[in-house]
């Protein structure tokens, strides 16, 4: 069953945060001026969307992520796609061929 949709809003206000997720209203605000590049903006959008996905998962009490665990998991997920975690795996496979 699909969860509730995420409402992502963009703000030109400046502040300390790049983005915020509000679990109670399933809403994320992305602060555009806090980003230097378009890929950086996409990364924040993905980050906030992942917060929403984790909150929409139906987990047992023992499987619940606290805030620190959730942030670390999102960082690792994003690093893995950026090549920071598994950067040399593809290179080694190409060398073996």
Q: Does 76 fall in a domain?
A: yes
Q: Does 21 fall in a domain?
A: yes
Q: Into how many domains does the chain fold?
A: 1
The angle that helices 67-82 and 38-56 make with each other, rounded to 10 degrees, is 130
Q: Does 74 fall in a domain?
A: yes
CATH classification of the domain holding 35:
1.10.10
Q: Does 1 fall in a domain?
A: no
Q: Does 14 fall in a domain?
A: yes
Q: Does 2 fall in a domain?
A: no
Q: How far is it, in rounded angstroms, from Cα 85 to Cα 23? A: 29
Mean pLDDT by 10 residues, the chain (97 residues): 83 90 93 92 90 75 73 73 53 53
Supply the range of the domain harboring residue 87: 7-96
Return the residue matching tokens 């893995």: 80
């Amino acid at each position: 069953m699909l969860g509730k949709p995420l409402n992502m809003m963009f703000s030109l206000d400046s502040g300390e945060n790049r983005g915020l997720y509000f679990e109670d209203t399933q809403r994320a605000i992305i602060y555009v001026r806090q980003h230097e590049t378009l890929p950086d903006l996409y990364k924040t959008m993905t980050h906030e969307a992942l917060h929403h996905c984790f909150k929409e998962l139906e987990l047992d009490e023992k499987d619940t992520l606290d805030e620190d665990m959730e942030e670390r998991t999102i960082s690792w997920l994003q690093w893995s796609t950026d090549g920071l975690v598994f950067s040399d795996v593809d290179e080694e496979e190409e060398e073996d061929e």
